[in-house]
Each structure stands twice: as C-alpha cells, then as structure tokens.
Amino acid sequence: MKFGLKKGQKLYSILKFKCPHCHEGEFFENRNPYHLSNMSTTLDNCPKCGRKFSMEPGFYYGAMYVSYALGVAHIVSFIVAEKVLYDQMEFWNFIFLVGFFLVLLTPLYYALSKIIWANMFFNYKGIKNEKS
C-alpha cells in the first residue's frame, strides 16, 4: 500500500501550501512562513483557478482556534515525550524547552492554521470546474 500525497487530498493542500480548491496555485504570497516581512500573507485569489480565498471580511479570525489547537498539541506532545524519555526533568528546564520550541515554531503554526482553516471550508474541485 502506498501512502503518497496526491491532489484531491486535503493533506496535500495543507502540507504544500497550495490552493484548497485546485491544489495547483499558491495560497501564500511567500511559501516560507519564516519570511517575516510578509509572514503568511494569503493571496486574494488563486493564480491558477481564480478562487477567492476569503469568504467574508475577517474570515481568517477562525484560524486562531486552529492555532490554539496546534499549540496545545505541541505542549501535550512535549509532556508525553518528557514522561517517556526523561522521567525526572527539572520543571524550569522543561518550561524553557517547550517555550523555546513554541516560539521557534510560531510562524509555521500561524501559516498552518490559515491553510487548515481554509481547507475546512473549501473542497477540492480541480482547476477545470472553477472557470465558470
């Protein structure tokens, strides 16, 4: 059984930062979430299929809930890893380690939260169906 990413899967759009509608056009102005001058700025429309990425003003405010969930998953995974790998890690060392990686990964989580949020509302239709 092969588990590669294919167009039509939401995970394809999320991990490659592609348009959730056609999976061909770019979703962000710059694919690098660590390019801080335009950090995770979405395009207005898909350059390939023309799909508008924002359903209404303030559409991406809902991505804050996804970002919160990613942060909680980050912290829980560190807690589980600490319990499995280091049974007696000092509290402040653990807090510093979790905080350091949370700050380091924040731009990535921000970009992921926006693309996940968009994928919750836009379904894959392919490029040929949007031109109508």
What is the Cα–Cα distance from 92 to 125, expressed in whole angstroms?
49
Residue with tokens 């968009």: 118
pLDDT in tens, the chain (132 residues): 456 778 888 999 999 999 999 999 999 999 888 988 888 789 999 999 889 998 888 899 999 999 999 999 999 999 898 888 877 788 898 899 999 999 999 999 999 999 999 999 998 887 764 444
Give the Å distances, CA to CA, from 67 to 95, 96, 107, 113. Answer: 20, 20, 10, 5
Domain-by-domain residue ranges, the chain? Answer: 10-121
